Structure 1
């Protein structure tokens, strides 16, 4: 049997192998972009593209209070372009609730936001129906209480008109079977009870249901209610049907929320706010419809209306099943803005919004004798140099005339000479001190508009077209304050060397000359650093004690009402108690370590938070290069007997794919779903989870992306008051980008 530590190590190795492959400079449809706050209400949106992608980008749709500059600007950076859109003119800055809409023909955007206070936020935004929505709240997070989350989602249930139409048909079915406002109100309370059960079920682990299924369930319930009205059935016999309709509706809304990017702990409050909004809207509609219904004469006319209602409900079921209700899920974006984005033909890059400027694509070769790329990251500085071999034949002591070819057997010596030349002349200083590289390597490479690729296998290289890529990697203990890189090898007195520096929020191109041979970078970012690794603490279970007490009171009152001990007031008390219990459920929880619950299994939302913290810690551990530091970080989240295996598997994976010295980095870990949580009988619990990992690597000025989805069962155990991963079983792996 494969050991638990081997399974965990192999899983993490697979992650890095599949997530980032720097040796393949393919275009997976992801664009690196930056949102920069300029001050005085102004902003700039920059995107890194290859010249052939110019037609794929259209002007962004910004909030209506801003004015977008008439035309974008373009500048060359390395072998690519940077397109820049500017907008401003508003006294109110971008804030949570705002959104940008990018009508770009791309699969996703990796966007880094740089705010004036120096903070930096980074996130991946996938494409939706016709555009890429950028909710500002993700880039400018605001801590919200559960009550604020519920209030924010109060109107979510009204966004899907077809779904609301089926709810209206259900309300009309209730009116037709009730005949009066009082009975209709009671039946609506039953429907709201179904919503409450769905909310509790989602919190306890009941999986959400597809919106199409929920909509079909509403239509079926409306049709059955119309039939019951024709048969004049008793009200109590309809309660299970209406309760089930409310439950299915609630589970459908939970599915909508599951893909909205909410933190797991906010799903239940958001669902509560959504369902309360739906219930209040249906209450108003039902009471209004009940008043009108009383004016419909009994007999054939009323029966005809009921039959028509049943027909409409049946048609709604067919529509829900056959077409589905695909919403754009572009929160915070006005429908008019969605229409503005749809005006652009994303395939041809033309549209009513007018065209953007054009830039001449650069030739797929080096324009100059050399190019320098300086990359600054929180834990390392990397210098990458491209050399046109024909311009350095003399410094490298290579004999050969026009048409000469370097065979594979001599390429190793040529690469070694180039590496020594670059290492001896680059003159890199970090915070004013000369730095010594931890890693130096050289490869023969090919240059294309999509980036630089290293040769997988040596091939004969013509000296007049060969390009060498030299990579030097320097370790740093903390984010540097300043970095300078000098260059002293100019083939002729008039030669120039393009140089580009890149940090987490942008890049800049400068030209080095014999008179100005230094590339300089200064740090002005307050949040530029490696995220800390923090233990995931074991907390006592949080119980909705107030709701439990109120439900007990409601049950006692309900039993008394049925047995006719207390009469009508008891039923009213039961209804009020259940309503208050449902209202308090998402918001009032008490941490209580009850006796006999050692090794308890948390709720799905709590388990999602635990898994998110542990996986993020593991991935972030490999942001460092120092072996001892990596072990120290891993030890926070992984049990000790697995540390060596995890480290070795990941190091081998990184070295295998680490072409040209570039290092894989995980940008984002997103927990998508936790379908089950159960105790394992060994003092811990097993979580079946689905998550998405986005990774990138900067390689000779070009960013390569990968995004994978994983389904796995994780065995977690509490050690000294903190959760740790004891084992993992990979169930499914899917490459998304």
Structure 2
């Protein structure tokens, strides 16, 4: 679970892109959300970008300062409008900050030389909505539909879209409300006290008060003391009657699956605060930071000068077996040996790969700390992953932590 993205991205770190030809579109755009700012990287084959910039003779492999200035000037004449965005409803032009030459096998395009252009956008406020319309779509090296892949990356944000002439527009929203329909988790049940006991205690209490008023203070006190002893005995007999109840075997498995799905679904939020808030509804505080950092770190991985990003798209629980029930910090808890398969999308250098990784581990689930359990739900207190295997002929990476 925690290292799902690492396994999904494992193939990327093995040099899978050292091919002679980039497998797909010759240009892609990355948008980067950093703090309250927005920047971009346009990466593409030189042969395409020279045409976009209106340059007939590209500079040589080693640029002089004059040649770099010429390329930068040509890019600044075209890209501000071409790469303009609509941010929070306002049109913002792109500012070309720099351009770099990448030779054969130095960038994303194998033997094909490429350019890397850094773009900035001046914003008046942090972006919560970003829209893009694109007009030029170069031919796909694989013979597919001409298209432009667009990645949006941030500390806790990720989106991926492929624009075409038929669908040239895209809009991203930062969800500020974080109102996701997380799978429900069964509430912790409290064993109710028998009605007979409750009624008996009530009658004893009323009888004690009546004794004082009818028999006077001396006799009434004696009778009240006697009835009080019976009353305390009744109270003592009810201790434990309101204890938290462990779920049955089948319900335990349902609870564990619901919690796993809630943890994955939390990362659909587009803000770090939102992810934490959603995780906190299902995860014990002691596990929260490590779980967040582990999953987030697994979804972002640097690779050969670029960034690979994974997105979980499906979750299938394939096996679940209840383990001996335990107590955790005095609260009812149980373990579930669970096996699940994560289906994901890995996006890197303008193209995507589908991945499936099978995991095995032990989930520890504990009763929530509501008042006597009232209104509390079961929560994830631990997740120890002991195996991960890449399906369809691949191999996973051993987890580096819990």
Q: When the two structures are superposed, what TM-score results if normalisation uses the length of structure 2?
A: 0.53
Mapped pair 1:631 → 2:266: no
Equivalent in the alignment of 1:485: 133
* Distance in 1 separating the partners of 2:284 and 2:98: 35
Mapped pair 1:649 → 2:294: yes
Q: Deviations over 1:537-590 (max 9, x none)?
A: 425499xxxxxxxxxxxxxxxxxxxxxxxxxxxxxxxxxxxxxxxxxxxxxxxx
Aligned alpha-carbon RMSD (Å)? 5.7
Equivalent in the alignment of 1:724: 379
How many Å apart are 1:473 and its aligned residue?
12
* Distance in 1 separating the partners of 2:120 and 2:361: 35
* Distance in 1 separating the partners of 2:98 and 2:246: 50
Mapped pair 1:664 → 2:310: yes
Q: Deviations over 1:224-267 (max 9, x none)?
A: xxxxxxxxxxxxxxxxxxxxxxxxxxxxxxxxxxxxxxxxxxxx
* Distance in 1 separating the partners of 2:79 and 2:356: 34
* Distance in 2 separating the partners of 1:612 and 1:460: 39
* Distance in 2 separating the partners of 1:443 and 1:652: 28
Relative distance call for 1:704 and 1:420 in structure 2 (3 A) is farther
Question: For 1:618, which of 260, 263, 270 is the aligned residue?
Answer: 263
Mapped pair 1:688 → 2:343: no
Uncovered stretches (5+) of structure 2, i.e. residues with no partner: 32-37, 139-144, 152-158, 173-177, 192-239, 371-375, 393-402
* Distance in 2 separating the partners of 1:364 and 1:432: 39
Question: Are the aligned partners of 1:20 and 1:704 in contact in 2 as well (CA < 8 Å)?
Answer: no
Equivalent in the alignment of 1:17: 6
Equivalent in the alignment of 2:247: 602
Mapped pair 1:509 → 2:164: yes
Question: Are the aligned partners of 1:536 and 1:610 in contact in 2 as well (CA < 8 Å)?
Answer: yes
How many Å apart are 1:664 and its aligned residue?
1.5
Q: What is the SS of the residue equivalent to 2:300? A: helix
Q: Deviations over 1:23-43 (max 9, x none)?
A: 46999xxxxxxxxxxxxxxxx
How many Å apart are 1:17 and its aligned residue?
0.5
Relative distance call for 1:461 and 1:20 in structure 2 (3 A) is closer
How many Å apart are 1:427 and its aligned residue?
0.5
Q: What is the SS of the residue equivalent to 1:664? A: strand
Mapped pair 1:536 → 2:188: no
Q: Deviations over 1:471-523 (max 9, x none)?
A: 98999758x8xx33246999xxxxxx954478999966219xxxxxx933489
Equivalent in the alignment of 1:679: 325
Question: Are the aligned partners of 2:310 and 2:346 in contact in 1 as well (CA < 8 Å)?
Answer: yes
> Aligned pairs, how many?
294
Mapped pair 1:713 → 2:375: no
* Distance in 2 separating the partners of 1:636 and 1:23: 34
The structure whose residues are more often helix, as a share, is: 1
* Distance in 1 separating the partners of 2:253 and 2:100: 43
* Distance in 2 separating the partners of 1:733 and 1:366: 28
Uncovered stretches (5+) of structure 1, i.e. residues with no partner: 1-10, 28-362, 376-380, 448-454, 491-496, 512-517, 524-528, 543-594
* Distance in 1 separating the partners of 2:257 and 2:84: 42
Mapped pair 1:466 → 2:113: yes
* Distance in 1 separating the partners of 2:136 and 2:108: 29
Q: What is the SS of the residue equivalent to 1:656? A: strand
Within a 5 Å distance, the mapping from 1:301-316 to structure 2 comes to: none
* Distance in 2 separating the partners of 1:596 and 1:442: 73
How many Å apart are 1:660 and its aligned residue?
4.6
Relative distance call for 1:605 and 1:522 in structure 2 (3 A) is same
Within a 5 Å distance, the mapping from 1:95-174 to structure 2 comes to: none
Q: Deviations over 1:391-412 (max 9, x none)?
A: 6569699x9755x357xxxx9x
Equivalent in the alignment of 2:390: 735
Within a 5 Å distance, the mapping from 1:431-450 to structure 2 comes to: 432-434=89-91
Q: When the two structures are superposed, what TM-score results if normalisation uses the length of structure 1?
A: 0.32
Question: Are the aligned partners of 1:534 and 1:636 in contact in 2 as well (CA < 8 Å)?
Answer: no
Question: Are the aligned partners of 1:604 and 1:676 in contact in 2 as well (CA < 8 Å)?
Answer: yes
How many Å apart are 1:373 and its aligned residue?
6.1
Relative distance call for 1:611 and 1:484 in structure 2 (3 A) is same
* Distance in 1 separating the partners of 2:7 and 2:292: 17
Q: Deviations over 1:679-703 (max 9, x none)?
A: 2123211111111111113445532
The structure whose residues are more often strand, as a share, is: 2
Relative distance call for 1:389 and 1:537 in structure 2 (3 A) is same
Q: Deviations over 1:24-63 (max 9, x none)?
A: 6999xxxxxxxxxxxxxxxxxxxxxxxxxxxxxxxxxxxx
Within a 5 Å distance, the mapping from 1:237-316 to structure 2 comes to: none
